Structure 1
Amino acid sequence: MHKYHRFYAALLVYLLCVIAIAAPPASASDADSAYAPVYHPKLDIPRTAGPIEIDGGIDDVGWRGAARIDRFFEHNPGDETKPEVETEVWVAYDDAYLYVAWICYDDPDEVRAHFCERDDIFSGDYVILCLDTYGEATHAYEIATNPYGIPGDLLFSSSYGEDSTYDLLFESAGRITEFGWVAEMAVPFESLRFPDREDQVWRIDFWRNRPRESRFQYSWVAFDRDDDCWPCQWGTATGISGIEPSAGLELLPSVIAYQSGSLNDEGDFVNGDIDGELSLGISYDLSSELTAEVAINPDFSQVESDAAQLDVNSTFALFYPEKRPFFQEGSDLFDTYFEAIYTRSINDPALAGKITWRNGSNSVALLSAYDEHSVIILPFEERSEFIENGKSYSNVLRFRHDLGEQSHLGVVATDRRFDSGGSGSLAGLDGQIRLSSSNSVRFQLLSSHTDEVDNPALTDSVTTAHLFGDEGYTGALDGESFWGHGLTAALVRSKKNYWAAAQYNELSPTFRADNGFEPSNNRRMGSIEMGGIVRFENSPILESIDGEIDAARKWNFDGVLKDEWITTNVTAHFRAAQTGIHGQYLRSNELFRDIRFDDIWQSHICFSTQPFAALRFGGNYNYGHRIARRDLVMGMETSWGAWADIRPLDRMLIATSFSRIQSDNLRSGERLFSQSVLRATLSLQMTRELSARVVTQYNDRDESWEFDPLVTYRLNSFSVLYFGSTHDYRDLTIEEDGREGWTLTDRQYFL
């Protein structure tokens, strides 16, 4: 990378200034010195002394004799210090449930609690029960509730973090008291997977999150910041014995009724007939370790539209997260370093089945589906194409063997075959090896084989004319057959005050992931990153400042340098309103469509803050020289955005966001492109079961409005009644549509 000597000098001066002003930690007070951290504590859990009712009260006879914990440590912003408020936890069990009660001492007027939908609790006060039932430190349950007893849950994976889409059946209740708040939870053993043995030995921890001016985090276990394995440091729970893994059959029937209407070619809005479908979901737990699921004629549509993205200057297909419950469950097993598995590639299944098995250190997931409207993503070096191609069968297999202490080895295989001919298959190995408490190696090897669909009419002339690979394959879907490969490897070091990583990855020009999401190929890329953090333990203003430098180079398989860049990032966290500010500066040189663009740069700044419980907001601003990829000129690009979460009532949320991007020709000043997206959601939680929300969204690229109301009655995660509708409006013109003005173009009612 050249022409960066002034930038390097400025960066060096900045880092020296940070070090110079960083106040060294003051010595601990006598009180804090006496409050010594307790690492890897042990807890013996007794049986209940009688019945326990989950009602937010803690006076049941069953709590007598429960194990009690009252010594917690602050992890953020403090480092294993004494919290400013007390927390007490009671734990017991019977043949069917694990019971946990939380007593959270605080000023009740300062408690931040929202009466909301399940899993929307994590911006306020809440507590979490952390369970690693196999003790492997690779997968764990995070079972949460807030002061109103609204449940939340996450599934932790050592390699891929927290899966917020996971749902687990359990009971919870809570209430705000004169001394703070209390919560109770009862976790059915039939909802958990654990070893089939008489005496259980689990890893366990108890967390309390308390957002005020800072986001305070406390837990029973003390943690070493030099050890990057979170569950490895949890405590040990014993005493639970004589419980049995679950086994049973669940039938999940569903009835869908709907009516659709749309604007026809003559300009008339035509309503279709009222229609309906029956579907059946079958789930059979052979044991706590093995579950089989089948969905017959499922309705896998989403009840909420995807948030629109700024795509006016993108040449690649856009990634959207999976929101369909059938595919969300067990999704942690499908995560790999490449996006080898993307379940939204199964677009409209008529039949789907899934088997998941977890036995100690081994996990297997098998997914099969018959898709009636399949899509193909054609990846190329500088662009991708998105094509619809009829019916297909998909099979996805994932095996993972956990080696303990955040290490694993895995196998992935996918296969999709079209009714009209053609297929795409993929297989590979991946793993993470923890070399020490701070160092790890990650890798993945993939091989793909493609037998193209033989239907050139599906591709346009530009795609057809594109050639790739050593054999000169065409971009058209013309029945060609080829192999491809992918490779990634990384070395990562993470310490208390700094981190560093080096990574290499490549995807050959003939690599395709038919059941995955890799929209580009023909690349070899090496990158390094390093960063550090300075914590201000005794500052009344600053919590921390961290900085990071990333540098990378990318070539194609002909050895041509395609891109090179360096970015610097600085983030400051303040002890006021949970405020954070992040800045980034990028310099880059890129070869795009055989045109060399040098001296690309962009500056970025963003912030977020929560001055009080009812308001959280943030924004971002970007400015610099960026390629206008459709016009093939350098543009002066500006983008900005803002968002806000407003709670005028503890049962109401108004969530709004606005994003805009625009670019002007750097030489002529001519406007090259612009796009704006506005989205707003109004949610009202009337009871724990009944809620209503309205989503509105505007996208000026296609001059469209969406208006989507929905009423939900949720008995639990798997028993839900929806009643809603979708309304799409477009600003029509005389030239293109024969009429003008905002007009309803599509509408659907559903139940």
Structure 2
Amino acid sequence: MSAPVKTEAFVYENGDTLFIAFKAYDPDPSKIIANLTDRDSNWNDDRVAVKIDSYHDHSLAYQFFINPLGTQADAIENELTKNESPAWDGIWEAAGQITDFGYQVEIAIPLRILNFDDSLDIQHWGMEFVRFYPRDTQMRISNAQMSQDNNCWICQMPIERGFSGAKQGNNLTAIPTFVTGKTKSRDLSETNDWSEESNSDVGLDVKWGITPDITLNATLNPDFSQVEADSGQLNVNNTFALYLQEKRSFFLENQDYFDTPVNLIYTRNINAPDYGAKITGKSGDHSFAAFIANDKTANIITPSNLRSSGYSIEQDTLNSAFRYRYAVNKELAVGVVSTIRDNDDYHNEVLSFDTKYQPSPQDTVNFQIIRTNTEFSEVGLSDVFDYFSDTSTDEHTNITTFNFGEQYLRAFSVNSSDLAYRIQYTHENRDWYFNVRHEDIGENFRADLAFIDTVDRTMSVIGGGYVWRGDDDDWWSRFRINGDIDITHNQDGELLEQENEFNINFNGPKQSYLRVGFLGRDRVGARTNNELVYSHDNPVIIDAQSAQDYLAIDANTDMFYEKNINMWGEFKPTSNLWLGNYFKKGKAIDYANNRISDQLVLEPNISWNINTHLKSQIRFEYTRLDHEGDNVFTAKLLDLRNTYQFSIKSFLRLSLVYTEIDRNLSKYVDPGDRNENFRRLSAQLLYSYKINPQTLFFVGYSEAGKDNDSLTNIKSDNRSVFMKLSYAWLL
């Protein structure tokens, strides 16, 4: 279809910088949506953009987005994973203003922030110029005719020739950092007295473009603390570890070079390093990446097939990762990944081979095979056993109860090697898609630098969907149906889960989207054999063979049938207000009591640009579980973030995260040490002044407190004030 509005782009370069100007015409400039936002936060505004594949190898594309007020966002699109990651932050300039004809934008992109082969006399870059036009529907307008029968959009970007003699220059950046802060904390179960800790430190980050194709990042004494609070998450009736997004710049830099179909690098497992170094590069059809960083602890996600949890080894630990990829031709690419974590009592290493084969624009095959090896010393293994078990003795009967879980049982075979593999075929064209996937993870598989929280399982999935698109005069724009069937067993062939899922998707006016889903699945519940009772005359013995017996599914778990209807809906009733809500109602497993119960989930979201400067975001989660008409628990979470953007460079943000969990302990088979009522409130006030992603100033204050059965109201247990200052010298 033809574009409803006219857009012009003007491009030139001077050997050091790429300059682009956009003139975006609009029949009614009063309807232009433009807000002052922090970097990477203008996604709902009117925007123009340029995408650049600087090697023209169809693997990665730099993306630069600018709204009518000049706010910036950038990202890297990865063709292998189909992800568009906003984690990459380049230093470039932009300005914009609304005019009587619409708006105009000017940007300047230093060539030093792009990787390209500057030995060529003439560059051949894939480039696309894009305009996003959000009105009743969100329209994407491009200078290129993109075929939706080809699922590789980077491959279709037009070739732009030029940049004669373009060079990257020295491309050396030094970023000294000063951090200071003070924290007060106390354990309310033991004392009301505060303990105080002060910290002031300096660090240095260096980025050096060794060649136009190879970049070295190094950090000494870095501040890897979180500046902004993580989004709140409810952790109730959940048997697996929570995933947290990476926000630290050292690990985010060029992280796309490490991507594989099965992601083997989760850097939030690295907590507090003293140093780190990373090198990334590309030469012709070859790309590589490696990093090394120490840590004061080894944070580990301990997996099984029914649950996972976290464990830490309090020892200096070395973490390293390496990635290599070779594009054999336009259809075939192969790669390897290796990761190692090592300290005195523990060693984990991973070696992976992956390949991507695309015989046609519509068909893609991904395959990855992974081998792991894990070793604990005798002391380290003893610590694992102690951490995942406990005993309690009745002083009157002299009877001892020994409690353990899956992680304890799997520790008997933790010193071992194992394999995992994943193969997936996808067909995708304009109107329909189909995919089939099989993955197999061995029972002793441990990739401890990754976020892999389930092992001892095989899963097969088959799914697909069909899309109808409306015409220009239709009131709806898109209608899609999709679904899949999957089945999961453990390595002994015992059924863990069998699921059928069907979804109806609809795009309509006011940028509305509605998805209605129906799910039914057989699924095993909690393990029932997690304790032994014995006396001194009858000692308990668990060895490797009996551990395998306890890990069996059929003899030690119950199968339940879960079903629900779920819906996600969103729309923009006005240009500055976005509303969304998730709803789920049906039958779900109550893992604490190992039974099927009635579940209700509501998750309303609001994003309101009150004016050009002020934005409020509210996210609420409500989960209720009932059994036989009686409430088992009700959990609520409120995440509120109000931001006042003084200018493109500075903002003040107030964040509040409130959690409330009310349990009816009379409905618990074993209440244990659970609280009947629990509350937690965290607050943070943060001021930021950011000239660019590396030249910035933060100052903030945060406080958190809790209330439970032993307290009378919410009582503070943590307070901190912090400041960070960094400056990027471009040398």
TM-score, normalised on structure 2? 0.87
Of 259, 264, 279, which aligns to 2:182? Answer: 259
> SS state of the match for residue 341, structure 1?
coil
Measure the CA separation in 2 of the matches of 1:676 and 1:159: 38
One-letter amino acid of the structure 2 residue matched with residue 356 of structure 1: T
One-letter amino acid of the structure 1 residue matched with residue 688 of structure 2: T
Shift of 1:267: 4.3
> SS state of the match for residue 386, structure 2?
helix
Shift of 1:405: 4.3
Counterpart for residue 743 of structure 1: 715
> SS state of the match for residue 41, structure 2?
coil
Counterpart for residue 21 of structure 2: 101
Asked whether 1:400 is paired with 2:400, we answer: no
- How many corresponding residue pairs? 658
Gaps of 5+ in 1: 1-80
Counterpart for residue 410 of structure 2: 475
Shift of 1:540: 3.3
Measure the CA separation in 1 of the matches of 2:270 and 2:690: 26
> SS state of the match for residue 305, structure 1?
coil
Of 193, 207, 226, which aligns to 1:283? Answer: 207
Q: Is the CA contact 2:16–2:168 (under 8 Å) kept in the aligned structure 1? A: no
Counterpart for residue 670 of structure 1: 630
Counterpart for residue 612 of structure 1: 574
Counterpart for residue 646 of structure 2: 686
Of 123, 131, 148, which aligns to 1:208? Answer: 131
> SS state of the match for residue 475, structure 1?
helix
> SS state of the match for residue 540, structure 1?
coil
Of 43, 46, 57, which aligns to 1:136? Answer: 57
Measure the CA separation in 1 of the matches of 2:148 and 2:513: 21
In the TM superposition, 1:352-431 aligns within 5 A as 352-390=276-314, 391-403=316-328, 405=330, 407-419=332-344, 421-431=345-355
Of 491, 495, 504, which aligns to 2:438? Answer: 504
Q: Is the CA contact 2:304–2:406 (under 8 Å) kept in the aligned structure 1? A: no
Alpha-carbon distance change, 127 to 99 in structure 1, aligned in 2, over 3 angstroms: same
Measure the CA separation in 1 of the matches of 2:403 and 2:169: 55
Measure the CA separation in 2 of the matches of 1:467 and 1:711: 44
Post-superposition Cα deviations, 1:66-111, rounded to whole Å, max 9, x if no partner, equal xxxxxxxxxxxxxxx1111111111111021111110000021010
Counterpart for residue 603 of structure 2: 641
Counterpart for residue 502 of structure 2: 568
Shift of 1:740: 2.1
Shift of 1:749: 0.3
Shift of 1:587: 1.0
Counterpart for residue 116 of structure 2: 194
Measure the CA separation in 2 of the matches of 1:298 and 1:102: 39
Shift of 1:606: 1.4
> SS state of the match for residue 492, structure 1?
strand
Counterpart for residue 85 of structure 1: 5
Asked whether 1:458 is paired with 2:393, we answer: no
One-letter amino acid of the structure 2 residue matched with residue 223 of structure 1: M
Q: Is the CA contact 2:22–2:104 (under 8 Å) kept in the aligned structure 1? A: yes
Measure the CA separation in 1 of the matches of 2:571 and 2:242: 29
Shift of 1:495: 0.9
Gaps of 5+ in 2: 392-401, 528-555, 662-677, 724-731
One-letter amino acid of the structure 2 residue matched with residue 626 of structure 1: A
Q: Is the CA contact 2:414–2:444 (under 8 Å) kept in the aligned structure 1? A: no
Q: Is the CA contact 1:138–1:402 (under 8 Å) kept in the aligned structure 2? A: no
Q: Is the CA contact 1:422–1:479 (under 8 Å) kept in the aligned structure 2? A: no
Counterpart for residue 45 of structure 2: 124
Q: Is the CA contact 2:264–2:450 (under 8 Å) kept in the aligned structure 1? A: yes
> SS state of the match for residue 360, structure 2?
coil
Shift of 1:484: 1.1
Post-superposition Cα deviations, 1:562-594, rounded to whole Å, max 9, x if no partner, equal 2101100110000x2100110000011123334
Alpha-carbon distance change, 489 to 116 in structure 1, aligned in 2, over 3 angstroms: same
Q: Is the CA contact 2:70–2:105 (under 8 Å) kept in the aligned structure 1? A: yes
Q: Is the CA contact 1:138–1:406 (under 8 Å) kept in the aligned structure 2? A: no
- Percent identity over the alignment is 24
Counterpart for residue 700 of structure 1: 660
Deviates more, 1:212-221 or 1:331-340: 331-340
One-letter amino acid of the structure 1 residue matched with residue 32 of structure 2: V
One-letter amino acid of the structure 2 residue matched with residue 519 of structure 1: D
Q: Is the CA contact 1:464–1:475 (under 8 Å) kept in the aligned structure 2? A: no
Counterpart for residue 77 of structure 1: none
Q: Is the CA contact 1:451–1:479 (under 8 Å) kept in the aligned structure 2? A: no
Post-superposition Cα deviations, 1:252-285, rounded to whole Å, max 9, x if no partner, equal 1111111111235664353625431111112222
Counterpart for residue 22 of structure 1: none
Q: Is the CA contact 1:259–1:274 (under 8 Å) kept in the aligned structure 2? A: yes
Q: Is the CA contact 2:325–2:333 (under 8 Å) kept in the aligned structure 1? A: yes
> SS state of the match for residue 298, structure 1?
coil
Measure the CA separation in 2 of the matches of 1:510 and 1:329: 32
Of 156, 168, 174, which aligns to 1:233? Answer: 156
Counterpart for residue 163 of structure 1: 85
One-letter amino acid of the structure 2 residue matched with residue 159 of structure 1: L
Asked whether 1:183 is paired with 2:105, we answer: yes
Q: Is the CA contact 1:408–1:432 (under 8 Å) kept in the aligned structure 2? A: yes
Post-superposition Cα deviations, 1:191-217, rounded to whole Å, max 9, x if no partner, equal 111112221111111000010000011
Measure the CA separation in 2 of the matches of 1:104 and 1:415: 50
Post-superposition Cα deviations, 1:528-563, rounded to whole Å, max 9, x if no partner, equal 001000111144321111000200111111111221
> SS state of the match for residue 30, structure 2?
helix
Measure the CA separation in 2 of the matches of 1:466 and 1:268: 33
Of 24, 46, 69, which aligns to 1:148? Answer: 69
Counterpart for residue 95 of structure 2: 173
Asked whether 1:709 is paired with 2:685, we answer: yes
Q: Is the CA contact 2:112–2:171 (under 8 Å) kept in the aligned structure 1? A: no
Shift of 1:414: 0.4
Q: CA RMSD in A?
A: 1.8
Of 521, 526, 529, which aligns to 1:588? Answer: 521
Counterpart for residue 398 of structure 2: none
Shift of 1:338: 2.0
Measure the CA separation in 2 of the matches of 1:609 and 1:104: 25
Measure the CA separation in 2 of the matches of 1:164 and 1:527: 29
Shift of 1:385: 2.5
Asked whether 1:218 is paired with 2:141, we answer: yes
Shift of 1:464: 8.2
Of 650, 667, 684, which aligns to 2:612? Answer: 650
Q: Is the CA contact 2:422–2:440 (under 8 Å) kept in the aligned structure 1? A: yes
